[in-house]
Chain A
Amino acid sequence: MTDLSSNNYAIEMNNVSKSYPLFELSNINLKLETGNIMGFIGPNGAGKSTTIRILMGLIQQDQGQVRVLGHQMPDQQVAAKWDIGYASEDMRLYSKATIAWHMDYMKSIYSSWDSGYAKTLLKRFDLLDNHQIKGLSHGQRVKAALLLMLARRPKLLILDEPTTGLDPVARHEILNELMDVLLEGDRSILFSSHNTQDIEQLSDLITFIDKGKIIASQDKESYLESWRRIRLTINDDTKLPPLKGIVEQRRSGHQAIITTKLFNDELADIYKGCGASITSVENMTLEEIFVSEVQSSRLLESQTTGGLK
């Protein structure tokens, strides 16, 4: 078997595919370096949860190789899971049991369980250990699940939309806690969400997925830097050249709006050379980039499919 591993990577997925009757995850390549936080963004049904379940060994890929913390998945999932903290939007704790029972249960399994840290988290999350899970709000249940995950100090956190359905205060508290966790050593996090605000606040790396394909994967800073919205004033006869990286080009009278994913200073000169004048060059939010990236990917796909037909 080919050795994919390099100890620098917490997660490595190489050419991973998985087919279902109505959905296909195709040719996924993903790498997360140790100590980094990757925001994994995609619309509903894009393949985020399927990818994450493959990483957890809960689903076996049809093709490709997956390594998590140096362990081949799904064959070595037990060894990998000792050091993975996993929480997902659809994860529930035992409703008849108390938080204390869950804490004792985790303590009985993980030698790395940190009782002191668990107590600190209880206070920070405003939870009482004698509370039954069934009496907790959704936000409190999410916090309890995160507490159980964090207090055993895993090397890798895999979070599948953990903040979905939370009120802004609870979301803020959880994101802050995750930020603190990352400050403690070489912990890595894969954080999936369709909430770009959460991802923007937390991540070093951004990966977009749509319709089962990775459409972008890059470090956050350079990624945000490469996207710009350029507003131009043009004449009726101004012809705008089809430049590489242009995702969208809209004209309305003497105004044109260009969205580019490969922004550089030379672009302004090129447009000036065509007779256009630059009105403004605007930064884009991650949400705007996400929407543009998905739309352009879908347009490209439909053109390719149309071309093939």
Chain B
Amino acid sequence: MNQSMIKTLVLKDLYFNKNNLLLFCAMGLISVYLLSFDNRAFYIGMVLLISMVILIGALLIFSTVVNERKDQTLTFLMSLPITCMDYTKAKLIFNFTAYFLAWAILVIATIAVIFYSPHLSNGLIPYALIILLEMLVAFIIVLSTALVSESEAATIVVVTIANIGVSLFMYIIATIGSINQYMKGSVAVWNKPALMIIGIEIMIGVLFIGLTLYLQSRKKDFI
């Protein structure tokens, strides 16, 4: 593996995205702070948090993958001593790590707010984690689409579906009896259905990363 070049590509993406990442993380933390209030601010915080997690993902993918092709800086990049697979690995590593870190901070903050806020029941924690994990998986699916399809239009379509899917997914999970019945409880219940959904989400994420690497390795034309 061309490790030194992959590292160079990752650092380049970090350089161009660090300010946006910091800005979105700050916005995300503000939204988590709003969640701690027992009034309208809670709902504003909820909407803001979901929006921030979605926006960070879209920003990363468009900035590092879609725009690089659209702005023709990909040609410059591919003149460097790298292969299509080195490029793919660098994009997966940077995007996944950057999104995961931002996502993990928001997950920890969300769980902490639920845990310490008297108006929020701890029974919400599994539900919140399932929803936030869905967002992580949706991010991986959008990233895979952008890398494999090389198409801005296809990426926009998948981003849109993923965003609409969050509300739908929230509703579907909330209607599952074995999840719903513990949401207002004072204890987080990690029952079999909850763990199974989390397991399936992780498997889908891993599957899409593997599929991306496989499909990219079979590409004959890259530019």
Cβ A91 vs Cβ B221 within 8 A: no
A23 within 8 A of B: no
Stretch at the interface among A35-43, A74-82, A274-282, A297-305: A74-82
Q: How far is the CA of A87 from the CA of B78 in the complex (A)?
A: 11
B81 within 8 A of A: yes
- Which size bracket describes the interface of A in this complex? 20 to 34
- Could you say which of B8, B75, B221 contacts A92, with CB atoms under 8 Å apart? B75
With A81-B79, A92-B72 given, name 11 new contacts (CB 8 A): A53-B223, A78-B2, A78-B81, A81-B81, A86-B79, A87-B79, A88-B75, A91-B76, A95-B71, A109-B5, A109-B80
Q: Which residues, 85 to 100 on A, are CB-close (under 8 Å) to B? A: 85-88, 90-97
Q: How far is the CA of A304 from the CA of B87 in the complex (A)?
A: 45
- Could you say which of B2, B73, B78, B221 contacts A60, with CB atoms under 8 Å apart? B221
A130 within 8 A of B: no
Q: How far is the CA of A109 from the CA of B189 in the complex (A)?
A: 51
- Could you say which of A59, A86, A90, A149 contacts B222, with CB atoms under 8 Å apart? A59
> Which residues from chain B contact A90 at a C-beta distance below 8 Å?
72, 75
A42 to chain B minimum Cβ distance, whole angstroms, is 19
* 23 cross-chain CB contacts under 8 A: A56-B78, A56-B79, A59-B221, A59-B223, A77-B81, A78-B83, A79-B81, A81-B79, A81-B81, A86-B79, A88-B75, A90-B72, A91-B72, A92-B75, A94-B16, A94-B73, A97-B16, A101-B15, A105-B8, A108-B8, A109-B8, A109-B80, A109-B81
In this complex, what residue of B is CB-closest to A86? B79
A145 within 8 A of B: yes
In this complex, what residue of A is CB-closest to B219? A60
Cβ A92 vs Cβ B73 within 8 A: yes
- Could you say which of A58, A60, A82 contacts B81, with CB atoms under 8 Å apart? A82
> Which residues from chain A contact B83 at a C-beta distance below 8 Å?
57, 74, 77-78
- Could you say which of B12, B82, B86, B220 contacts A105, with CB atoms under 8 Å apart? B12
Q: How far is the CA of A96 from the CA of B67 in the complex (A)?
A: 13
- Could you say which of B8, B12, B75, B82 contacts A81, with CB atoms under 8 Å apart? B82
Chain B 71-100, CB-CB to A under 8 Å as 1, else 0, gives: 111011011111100100000000000000
> Which residues from chain B contact A79 at a C-beta distance below 8 Å?
81
> Which residues from chain A contact B220 at a C-beta distance below 8 Å?
59-60
Q: 10 closest Cβ contacts across the A-B interface?
A: A86-B79, A81-B81, A60-B220, A91-B75, A92-B72, A58-B223, A78-B81, A59-B221, A82-B81, A91-B76
Q: How far is the CA of A108 from the CA of B9 in the complex (A)?
A: 11
Q: How far is the CA of A77 from the CA of B5 in the complex (A)?
A: 13
Q: How far is the CA of A84 from the CA of B82 in the complex (A)?
A: 12
Chain B 2-18, CB-CB to A under 8 Å as 1, else 0, gives: 10010010001001100
- Could you say which of B73, B78, B221, B222 contacts A93, with CB atoms under 8 Å apart? B73
Given A60-B221, A78-B82, A105-B12: A93 and B2 interface contact (C-beta under 8 Å) = no
In this complex, what residue of A is CB-closest to B4? A109
Q: How far is the CA of A250 from the CA of B87 in the complex (A)?
A: 56
B154 to chain A minimum Cβ distance, whole angstroms, is 19
Cβ A92 vs Cβ B223 within 8 A: no
In this complex, what residue of B is CB-closest to A97? B16
Q: How far is the CA of A86 from the CA of B81 in the complex (A)?
A: 11
A223 to chain B minimum Cβ distance, whole angstroms, is 30
Chain A 14-53, CB-CB to B under 8 Å as 1, else 0, gives: 0000000000000000000000000000000000000001
Q: How far is the CA of A57 from the CA of B85 in the complex (A)?
A: 12
In this complex, what residue of B is CB-closest to A81? B81
> Which residues from chain B contact A59 at a C-beta distance below 8 Å?
220-223
In this complex, what residue of A is CB-closest to B86? A78
Q: How far is the CA of A266 from the CA of B23 in the complex (A)?
A: 80
Q: Which of B12, B81, B86 has the most CB of A within 10 A?
A: B81
> Which residues from chain B contact A84 at a C-beta distance below 8 Å?
79
Q: How far is the CA of A90 from the CA of B79 in the complex (A)?
A: 12
Given A78-B83, A86-B79, A91-B79: A58 and B72 interface contact (C-beta under 8 Å) = no
In this complex, what residue of A is CB-closest to B8? A109
Q: Which residues, 206 to 223 on B, are CB-close (under 8 Å) to A? A: 220-223
B162 to chain A minimum Cβ distance, whole angstroms, is 27
